[in-house]
Chain A
Amino acid sequence: MMPIRQLGIAVIGDKDLVNGLRLIGVSRYYMIEDSHNASEDVREALGELIGDPGIGVVIILEEYAKHVEDLIIQLRGGKRFVPVIVEVPPRGGTTYGDVGEYYKEFIKRFLGFEIEI
């Protein structure tokens, strides 16, 4: 049994997301400005967070998650519990379409057959 630990929450996002979450107390944040090298900035920020054992949940904007898909997949395939990366929608709503479809794909990959949830 793993002892109960206190872990931090970090957020990588644009101004809206970061402001919304700072309002309730998230103090670890990486605000990515609309610059030409957003991809590198995101990669650097996520790399730093993955290396930090005190971080439990990383909140990342969907469009930024696309820049670091390889890191996320690597993290998901690992045995470590944390950090967990949660993708959240940008201002205009999610870009992934239906939620059910997204996870159906996921289930199909592991179980080998499709199933209605």
Chain B
Amino acid sequence: MERGTREYALWSIGILLILTFSIFPVLWIVSVSLKDPATITEGTNFGNTFIPQDITFDNYDALFTGGVSESPFLKPLINSILIGLISTVIAIVLAAFAAYAIARLDFPGKTLILAGALALAIFPAISTVGPLFDMWRALGLYDTYPGLIIPYLAFALPLAIYVLVAFFREIPWDLEQAAQVDGATPFQAFRKVIVPLAAPGVFTAAILVFIFAWNEFLFAISLTSSDASRTVPAALAFFTGESQFTEPTGNIAAAGVIVTVPIIIFVLIFQRRIVAGLTSGAVKG
């Protein structure tokens, strides 16, 4: 298709429409976050302007005033970051070991484990919330970091394992054997030869797990009761507005921007890796 033809122009318009449709909600949220809280609901349905008349950063300020103890957002943000990172690291380490065994070895129960992992991944999370709530309260894990990290691991591991198995399968068996003959223990062979080669896969799995933990809402809202471990998605629900009856839309929008935009940038930078990671097992070479 050449530039300047009618076909090109039509395609451009079509793609632009789709892009606008997709990104419009996000842009709207950014715009809302920049508006004066009192004026957000002003005007008729469509009279509400897209581009704010007065750009103000009050909403953002409100989020951060009061420091960690007072601000409704700062502690949850820290919780999100920490819980996300810890879940990712543990999930990747465990998944790497599991994926290596599954990709390389033939052991009894292998199919069972894979099937189990798949079953876990498609399991309706909501049905586990009630029992978990009771269990965590009894065990004292309610409203703690481990209280969230453990369910996150359970649901993120299958995904990580599958991605990593696909990657490990791509690495020729010969390399580890060469390493063993060269004097490496199996663990050294794994660490020095396999892991560097599986880096794209590890990266992909890490990104996917982190995004899952970051956006997770169900457990965050059910298994926490205070800022001790509440993450941002859940914390957003507890924002208070100017009075008992106003929705703090501006604050919520600002929090949403802070939480979403970094992920978007992150994924944009690493998108090649992620796509490579997800499709690598598909075609040889």
Q: Report if A and B associate in a common complex.
A: no
Which residues of A does B touch, CB under 8 Å? none
Which residues of B does A touch, CB under 8 Å? none
